[in-house]
């Protein structure tokens, strides 16, 4: 075989629309292109000229699965520009809301998008025919996350209760009691999910990843912190533009990102676990150890186990926050606009999400910059594919195409929200 070209016209079981092209010649992979072909959405341009209070509601529409992530990074960037920092019970409520999104997003990915790869099914629906109880458990976990988001955000998708400075309304302690009870059941379901996915048959693959994630001295960082890199370097949110630079590539409408001039770093569950695993809740740490993860996981196929551990951590910490909750005196802090630049970073389920806003003297957005996790991971996904495929080029065509899709799904890319059937074109 001197030449092979694999074209996957529509990646399946990922959120959004993308395709994949792999070219090989003389037993070597020469090109790997993860093509995100959805039209640009121009949210950063849409934000210019809008009031400084509007980014949380506007940017939430970027993603129906991770709207809270966009709201939290947006709020923190605007607040930083205005010289305000939200703390105390209001910060706890933001973290609680974020945990709800982590639970629902990870549960969806694990049980309906990723697990079918390991059990030999082409969809979650097909898997449900033989493993109904497993799919129902995953849906119950997702429902628990949705209910938590709705309790704090006003609704489960595109929450309407989040504002710069806090919330429009905060719940009374009694309102959270039934949510906590549901989360206690979800915690048991999450532990069972960790044990289930830990038993999958994982390909023996490891990559020398350069991880990047938020780090916080007192918690498993989700909402705030400094940016840590696995080579021992790090920087603050305000220094992000000096270290992370985006560039256009010909084959994708999404930008690629470079860290200190080098492409191919990784954000997301594997990065968070590698850099912050010791700060997981005791129950989640114990489950990770029992699942055989070790202090660092470099096998992308085992990312499904790390996400299950993160669900368990989110349930555990959400229960703790509710049990310790004291209703704040006001639902929000005043945020007075002033000219300035603010940076906000948080950990979306799929990885580190950065926002930057420049506000003018009238309190309007003059500039906006948003760097989502999937654009940061694109180059690394292409590197994963190159290393995975090259020693396996003699596999049958259908098997190689399926392996390519699995390698992409390991990173749970969020392109938007749709699904396609696979179209494969192979030239020799």
Provide the annotated binding site for Mg(2+).
Answer: 44, 370, 420
Which residue in 35, 2, 31 sits closest to 386, CA to CA?
A: 31
| Reported pTM | 0.92
345 and 409 inside one domain? no
Report pLDDT for 194: 98
Report pLDDT for 50: 97
- The answer, yes or no, to whether residue 293 has pLDDT greater than 50, is yes
29 and 140 inside one domain? no
- Please tell me the total count of domains within the chain: 2
Q: How confident is the model at residue 427 (pLDDT cuts 50, 70, 90)?
A: very low
User: Comparing 59-63, 123-127, 420-424, which segment has the lowest mean pLDDT?
Assistant: 420-424
- The answer, yes or no, to whether residue 420 has pLDDT greater than 70, is no
421 and 274 inside one domain? no
Mean pLDDT for 336-355 is 97
What DSSP character marks residue 170? -
Report pLDDT for 68: 97
Which residue in 311, 426, 406 sits closest to 121, CA to CA?
A: 406
Q: How confident is the model at residue 425 (pLDDT cuts 50, 70, 90)?
A: very low
Mean pLDDT for 116-143 is 95
220 and 320 inside one domain? yes
Report pLDDT for 305: 98
- The answer, yes or no, to whether residue 371 has pLDDT greater than 90, is yes
- The answer, yes or no, to whether residue 336 has pLDDT greater than 70, is yes
Report pLDDT for 25: 86
269 and 397 inside one domain? no
Provide the annotated binding site.
Answer: 44, 63, 66, 370, 414, 417, 420
299 and 156 inside one domain? yes
Provide the annotated binding site for Ni(2+).
Answer: 63, 66, 414
Provide the annotated binding site for Fe cation.
Answer: 66, 417
390 and 368 inside one domain? no
291 and 422 inside one domain? no
272 and 387 inside one domain? no
Calpha distance 140→154 (Å, rounded): 20
Calpha distance 126→95 (Å, rounded): 35
Calpha distance 218→21 (Å, rounded): 43
Rounded to 5 degrees, what angle do the CA atoms 378, 248, 38 make? 65
Higher pLDDT among residues 44 and 255, named by residue: 44
- Domain extent, residue 92, equals 39-378
Calpha distance 59→68 (Å, rounded): 9
């Amino acid at each position: 075989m001197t030449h092979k070209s694999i074209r996957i016209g529509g990646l399946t079981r990922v959120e959004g629309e993308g395709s994949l092209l792999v070219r090989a010649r003389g037993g070597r992979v020469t090109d790997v292109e993860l093509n995100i072909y959805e039209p640009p959405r121009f949210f950063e341009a849409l934000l210019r000229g809008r009031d400084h209070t509007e980014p949380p509601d506007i940017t939430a529409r970027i993603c129906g699965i991770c709207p809270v992530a966009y709201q939290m990074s947006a709020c923190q960037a605007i607040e930083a520009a205005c010289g305000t920092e939200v703390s105390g019970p209001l910060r706890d409520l933001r973290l609680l809301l974020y945990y709800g999104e982590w639970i629902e997003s990870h549960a969806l990915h694990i049980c309906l998008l990723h697990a079918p790869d390991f059990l030999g099914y082409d969809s979650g629906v097909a898997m449900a025919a033989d493993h109904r109880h497993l799919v129902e458990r995953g849906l119950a976990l997702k429902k628990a996350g949705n209910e938590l988001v709705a309790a704090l955000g006003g609704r489960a998708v595109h929450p309407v209760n989040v504002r710069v400075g806090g919330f429009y309304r905060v719940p009374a302690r009694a309102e959270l009691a039934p949510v906590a009870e549901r989360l206690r059941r979800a915690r048991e379901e999450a532990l069972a999910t960790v044990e289930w996915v830990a038993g999958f048959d994982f390909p023996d693959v490891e990559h020398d990843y350069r991880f990047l994630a938020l780090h916080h001295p007192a918690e498993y960082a989700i909402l705030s912190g400094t940016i840590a890199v696995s080579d021992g370097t790090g920087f603050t949110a305000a220094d992000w533009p000096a270290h992370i630079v985006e560039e256009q590539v010909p084959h994708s409408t999404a930008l690629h990102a470079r860290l200190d001039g080098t492409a191919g770093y990784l954000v997301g569950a594997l990065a968070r676990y590698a850099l912050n695993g010791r700060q997981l809740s005791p129950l989640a740490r114990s489950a990770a150890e029992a699942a055989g993860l070790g202090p660092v996981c470099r096998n992308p196929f085992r990312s499904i186990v790390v996400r299950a551990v993160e669900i368990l951590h989110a349930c555990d910490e959400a229960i703790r926050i509710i049990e310790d909750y004291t209703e704040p005196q006001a639902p929000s802090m005043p945020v007075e606009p002033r000219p300035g630049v603010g940076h906000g970073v948080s950990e979306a389920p799929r990885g580190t999400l950065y926002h930057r806003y420049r506000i003018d003297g009238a309190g309007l957005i003059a500039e906006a910059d948003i760097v989502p996790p999937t654009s940061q991971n694109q180059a690394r996904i292409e590197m994963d594919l190159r290393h995975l495929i090259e020693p396996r080029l003699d596999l049958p065509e259908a098997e190689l195409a399926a392996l390519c899709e699995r390698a992409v799904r390991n990173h749970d890319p969020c392109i938007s929200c749709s699904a396609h059937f696979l179209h494969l074109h192979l030239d020799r």
